Amino acid sequence: MARRHPVVIDLTGSDDEGPYPKREQARISTATAIPTGFNLKPATDELKLAIRSANIGRLQGSVLSLCDKIPGATQLLSQMLLVPPARAPTAPIVVNALHGNKRRLVPRWATCINCELEFDVSDNDDDTACEYHRGHIDVDWSSGTWADWDEDCHGPMDTEENQDEYPDGFKWTCCDTTKGSMYCGYDRATGEEFERDGCRVGRHQTGAEGSKKRRIY
């Protein structure tokens, strides 16, 4: 019987190089080859719906259990979710009981501490990617919105519902602008102006950047 070669599956759906240099990619692709005879079956519509409706904790538990049960799952997930530290200089240091705090591979995806969006730590060179405020939303007592507002009749002013319904009645404590105001930003690299949602702009941050200064316009 002819020998069948292992099948390499690209779960990223992308043709680009990915987070690893080509030589590293080739090494990982070999390591993550699905064993011959593995019954590959795309997710059914029912399973897709179940995945999208499950909460994050249940999905994390399901993925972790796959690492214990499916050959190659750990390597595949590592390829998708980890990057070499050289490509993610600001990624959080993961302290490993066995290896001290040497950084081997680090998480590729992180949540920005400023804008709270997920970002790719190996592709975080854009100085205008993160738009955010340093302060918080507070009631603007000088706003005409509250001229005839009686909390005994109308209820409390500072509620999320009121923030949505009466944005002019609230302002950011960091810049005194109304909630939802757009700022005009200036990109020093290209010389172009752009509209941004936040009085501050910079790169996304993980919180592990230490005292490095961010460029703020």
CB of 57 to Zn ion, least distance (A): 24
* Nearest CA among 180, 171, 190, 177 for reference residue 128: 190
CB of 26 to Zn ion, least distance (A): 33
The verdict on 94 binding Zn ion (CB under 5 A) reads no
* Nearest CA among 127, 95, 94, 91 for reference residue 108: 91
CB of 95 to Zn ion, least distance (A): 24
Secondary structure letter of residue 186 according to DSSP: E
Restricted to residues 165-204, the positions that interact with Zn ion (CB under 5 A) are: 172, 174-175, 199, 204
Torsion angles phi and psi, residue 162, rounded to 5? -65, -35
- Say how far apart CA 101 and CA 94 lie, in whole Å: 6
Looking at the Cβ atoms of 130 and 139, the one nearer to Zn ion is 130
* Nearest CA among 20, 116, 101 for reference residue 92: 101
User: How many residues bind Zn ion, per CB under 5 A?
Assistant: 10
CB of 175 to Zn ion, least distance (A): 3
Chain positions contacting Zn ion, by CB under 5 A: 112, 114-115, 130, 133, 172, 174-175, 199, 204
